[in-house]
């Protein structure tokens, strides 16, 4: 069985060491960087299957580093840590490309559950369940590589965004609730916060694949229910 490598970017020594100990207890190989710049360089130079990124760092905002990682083509799952209950922090993290977030304080057991769900979907049984390409109008989803193309243009999606689009494509024309989407794409029981997460990812996905994101023609909102992919 593969041992997954987790990169932790956290400047608080006590929290950082606690995360390292907890992750190792759950069978991961964990490494710690105490600032964003060091973490960014480490992520570029070494294989990390998942990144845990704190929002408050001594050399900048975790939001900015998350955005820089996505811009640099680092597409492994990112879970952001925030010490605030402020919904703005959570939404901004998702908009910058994070896959999930956790609010301090949290239990290591819950963190392990969230990590496992992300890894399962990025690298496990849901990562490339089918080898055939899926065609959505002028878009091609390559399920073997997790890439999306429009003609010769490659559209850079995070693993979560790809799974979300793939899930909508496999149920094309069907109205899907946010609860269904959370369970299928994130892999855990939904709550009010996680259902709001769906809205943010849908918005990001529209910005990347819709020709006119403000007038979506592919991913349609179904009032009172959720979303569906146009036939």
Q: Is 146 strand, coil or helix?
A: coil
Is pLDDT of 136 > 90?
Answer: no
What is the rounded average pLDDT for all residues in the chain? 88
| SS3 state at 33 | strand
Between 231 and 172, the more confident residue is: 172
Helices 13-25 & 108-123 angle (0-180, nearest 10): 60
Q: Label residue 53 left, alpha or beta by phi (over 0 means left) and psi (-120 to 50 means alpha).
A: beta
For residue 151, count CB atoms less than 10 angstroms from its CB and return exposed for 0-12, middle for 13-18, buried for 19 or more: exposed
The domains of the chain are located at 5-123, 133-229
End-to-end CA distance of the chain: 40
Predicted confidence (pLDDT) at residue 27 exceeds the cutoff of 70: yes
pLDDT of residue 192: 67
Measured CA distances, 160 to 10, 100, 139 (Å): 23, 9, 17
CA atoms within 13 A on the CB side of 154: 8
Residue 152 has what pLDDT? 83
How much is the average pLDDT of 134-141? 87
Do residues 191 and 110 lie in contact, with contact meaning Cβ atoms separated by under 8 Å?
A: no
Tell me what pLDDT residue 127 has: 52
At 40-51, the pLDDT tens digits run 999 999 989 999
Residues 97-113 have pLDDT tens digits of: 899 989 888 899 999 99
pLDDT at residue 121 tops 90: no
Prediction pTM value: 0.70
Neighbours of 180 (CB within 10 A): 18
Q: Choose between 115 and 192: higher pLDDT.
A: 115
Fold of the 133-229 domain? Arc Repressor Mutant, subunit A (1.10.10)
pLDDT at 126 over 70: no
CATH 3.40.50.2300 fits 5-123, yes or no: yes
pLDDT band per the 50, 70, 90 thresholds, residue 73 = confident
């Amino acid at each position: 069985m593969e041992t997954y490598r987790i990169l932790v970017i956290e400047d608080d020594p006590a929290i950082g060491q606690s995360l390292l100990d907890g992750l190792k207890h759950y069978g991961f190989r964990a490494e710690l960087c105490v600032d964003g710049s060091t973490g960014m360089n480490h992520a570029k130079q070494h294989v990390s299957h998942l990144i845990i990124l704190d929002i408050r760092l001594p050399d900048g905002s975790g939001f900015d580093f998350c955005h820089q990682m996505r811009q640099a083509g680092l597409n492994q799952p990112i879970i952001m840590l925030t010490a605030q209950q402020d919904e703005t922090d959570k939404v901004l993290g998702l908009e910058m490309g994070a896959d999930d977030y956790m609010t301090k304080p949290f239990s290591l057991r819950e963190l392990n559950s969230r990590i496992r769900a992300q890894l399962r979907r990025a690298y496990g049984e849901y990562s490339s369940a089918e080898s055939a390409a899926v065609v959505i109008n002028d878009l091609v989803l390559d399920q073997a590589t997790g890439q999306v193309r429009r003609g010769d243009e490659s559209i850079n999606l995070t693993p979560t965004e790809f799974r979300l689009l793939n899930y909508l494509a496999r149920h094309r024309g069907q109205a899907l609730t946010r609860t269904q989407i959370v369970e299928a794409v994130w892999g855990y029981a939904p709550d009010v916060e996680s259902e709001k997460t769906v809205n943010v990812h849908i918005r990001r996905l529209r910005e990347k694949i819709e020709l006119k994101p403000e007038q979506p023609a592919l991913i349609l909102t179904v009032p009172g229910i959720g979303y569906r992919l146009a036939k």
